[in-house]
Structure 1
Amino acid sequence: MLLGLLLICVGWHTTPGGAEVVTSFEETCPRFFFRETPPRIGLTPAHLVRICQRYRNQYRYATMYDRPNYIPLYSAYIYNPGKAKRPQNWMVEPQLVRSSLPPEMTLEEDLLKKQVTLAELEKSQAVLKDYKNLIDYNRGHLNPNSHQPNSDAKKSTFTLTNTVPQYEKLNGGSWANYEDKTMKVKTQGCKDTFAVVGAVPGNKYIAGKRVNQPSHVWSAACCYIDNNRIRSWAVIARNDKDAVEELTLGQLEGKLAELYQQNSISLFHSDCPRQ
């Protein structure tokens, strides 16, 4: 399942640049992680690109991007839902093409006007045409716009670096129910809720075998109530069925260790309860 992710990928060298494609989440955008501690998943670093997702000169969330598979491995954000309208336009990440390009996400058509060819863009990340004419799958946000507070924050989630091919019935069914209803119930009484939502690369692809179709999608949250009370919860779903399995954080970490073929995985700082 993860052979393509775990093998050394010659030619995919990441050059940090500007303020968005970064070498360290802790140094650039740590606030999106509970206790400023990013997940420890242990996959081959050469494959993964850290993005502090920036829009309108402000960091909005953090994404670990699996560039050879053209999907995010996970996005981490602070849950803070608002009522602004759902955006429509999808964006791309210039610095995945070249580190000298601007550090903010932008519309694909605008980037192609700035001496970037479609071939260069396609080599660096998923593009709009990859998600056209799909059957049974559509664009699934890891960081959903419904969990963000205002128009600009919601727009920032509409980037293809925050998107995976998700089973359409799951995206509009059980997964949407978790995002909109379960999270609302679980976060009652929370002062701050830190979320990490991810995908497990699978054996199938879309767009002429370009973009990986994850075998599973998952979500975990750590909720800070006060100095003595912290709670957590988690879910996982196969990406070909409309069903979500509720787990403890510890159970999810154990299941992901098997799926990612790792000895152990830690999604949050050790202060976050695993049971």
Structure 2
Amino acid sequence: MNLFKSPLQELKSGIDKVQAELNDIQSVLKIVPQRCQELLSELPEETKCSKLKEHLQNIIKTCNEVIKNITDIKPSDPLAFPELQKHFLSAYEAASPAYICQKYGNKPGDNYHFATLYDRARRMPLYSAYKMDRSGTPKRKGGIINYEPQLVHWDAPESKQKSIRDINTFIKDHNGVNKCPERHPDVRIAYKLRWSQATDDDFTSFDRGHLNPAGHHAEGDGSEATMTFTNVAPQSKIMNNGPWNDYETKLRIKYGGDFKSDKDMVRLEITQTQIQNCHNLYVVTGVVPGNTWQFGRVNVPSYYWSAHCCTRMDQNNEVPVLSGGALCPNRDDGEVEEFDSVDKLEVKLKTLIEKELHLKLNNPIHIFDKCVPQLTRSKSLPSIPSDSVVPLKPKRPKEYK
């Protein structure tokens, strides 16, 4: 796997340089005790030389201790331990994108709530796909607190979202089981976590912009499952709390049937027939990658977009009723542009991606297949062409912690 070998080779190159420098220091230090020993042997047995002898003996002792300590801290070559390659550094395979089935809670059932396509290199989600809870009372609880263990180690048996305390315990246990020595900076808990995904420190200048908003789900696991760093990207605070929040609320009211008066139906341009025919609402919300980065680690999207498909049940089949979408520049002055058909949004997205990422797409963008949602795990996820996102290699965190 080329994506796996490249980080290993990069790590090995850095280790080789450190080893070479430590070897040079050791070589010099080995000469010092030898010379001191030679001087000791030449000194007469007179009392007046006892102080000098003591200093020379201390120098010999200190040099030998330093030489031993250097030997202890020398990093091992990961390529010299084939049995550890998979587990020791599986955090650095960094295959992008990563398909995440967002799992949260301990209730009976599989506890999968929505799907996310995560860009490891840009450390942000490209889109989240979900079914809006049209009947429950929406309520947000708490903040963004959870991390995805399978981004840290793809071979992790447990895929459920974890808090910062639980994810740290998970990494520590993984290191212990696989005998990964934590004297290696790359094995340390904070470094592994920051390599794999965005963390709380990456959002100082931006809001944690939900792709799947908590407000589109009833209070409980469905809402709390959205509180993960794999479901948020850097978003303008003004845009997030202004026009984009207004659009999310509008979508909830429009298709959730939370109308306070007939004036709401007129304002939202929806008829009673449409409400009655809409049994399920499927939403895919995503971003267009931008050309700026937060701390050189997390990409700042240039646009946020959202597409929805409303269906009704006809016996055992879902029949599309209507679709739509929205697009908004990720700026303080960003204004939401709405589309009355998902097809129109797809055309606009293709143009934007080609412009923002300076590439030519060979295929059209299809968010829904004929507006029939494909969000179950037995089917494919909504398709965005593979050439729509420029492949990148993840940038390592600058600091070792």
Which TM-score tier does this pair reach, normalised by the shorter chain?
0.7 to 0.9
2:109 maps to 1:60: no
The normalised TM-score by structure 2 is 0.54
Counterpart residue identity of residue 195, structure 1: V
Conserved 8 A contact 2:320-2:371: no
Counterpart residue identity of residue 364, structure 2: S
2:152 maps to 1:97: yes
Displacement of 1:260 in angstroms is 2.8
Q: Deviations over 1:89-137 (max 9, x none)?
A: 5110011111225210011232113316110111111111112x31xx2
Q: Deviations over 1:27-85 (max 9, x none)?
A: xxxxxxxxxxxxxxxxxx95210000000140010000001000000000001153344
- Give the whole-Å Cα distance in 1 for the aligned partners of 2:211 and 2:312: 24
2:205 maps to 1:205: no
The aligned counterpart of 2:202 is 130
Conserved 8 A contact 1:53-1:156: yes
Identity %: 35
- Give the whole-Å Cα distance in 2 for the aligned partners of 1:159 and 1:186: 25
The normalised TM-score by structure 1 is 0.77
The aligned counterpart of 2:122 is 69
- Cα distance 1:127–1:264, how it changes in 2: closer, same or farther (>3 A)? same
Gaps of 5+ in 1: 1-7, 14-44
Displacement of 1:174 in angstroms is 0.8
Question: What does 1:39-54 correspond to in 2, within 5 Å?
Answer: 46-54=95-103
2:343 maps to 1:250: yes
- Cα distance 1:272–1:60, how it changes in 2: closer, same or farther (>3 A)? closer
Higher gyration radius (CA):
2
Displacement of 1:271 in angstroms is 4.6
Kindly indicate which of the two structures has a greater share of residues assigned to strand: 1
- Give the whole-Å Cα distance in 2 for the aligned partners of 1:169 and 1:225: 36
2:141 maps to 1:86: yes
Counterpart residue identity of residue 117, structure 1: I
Displacement of 1:256 in angstroms is 1.4
- Cα distance 1:12–1:129, how it changes in 2: closer, same or farther (>3 A)? same
Kindly indicate which of the two structures has a greater share of residues assigned to helix: 2
Conserved 8 A contact 1:12-1:47: no
Displacement of 1:229 in angstroms is 5.2
Which residue, 236, 240, 249 being the options, matches 1:180? 249
The aligned counterpart of 1:153 is 222
Gaps of 5+ in 2: 9-93, 173-187, 257-274, 355-360, 374-401
- Give the whole-Å Cα distance in 1 for the aligned partners of 2:245 and 2:307: 15
| Greater relative CO (CA pairs within 8 A, separation 6+) | 1
- Give the whole-Å Cα distance in 2 for the aligned partners of 1:211 and 1:229: 37
Conserved 8 A contact 2:216-2:252: no
- Give the whole-Å Cα distance in 2 for the aligned partners of 1:162 and 1:156: 9
- Cα distance 1:129–1:271, how it changes in 2: closer, same or farther (>3 A)? closer
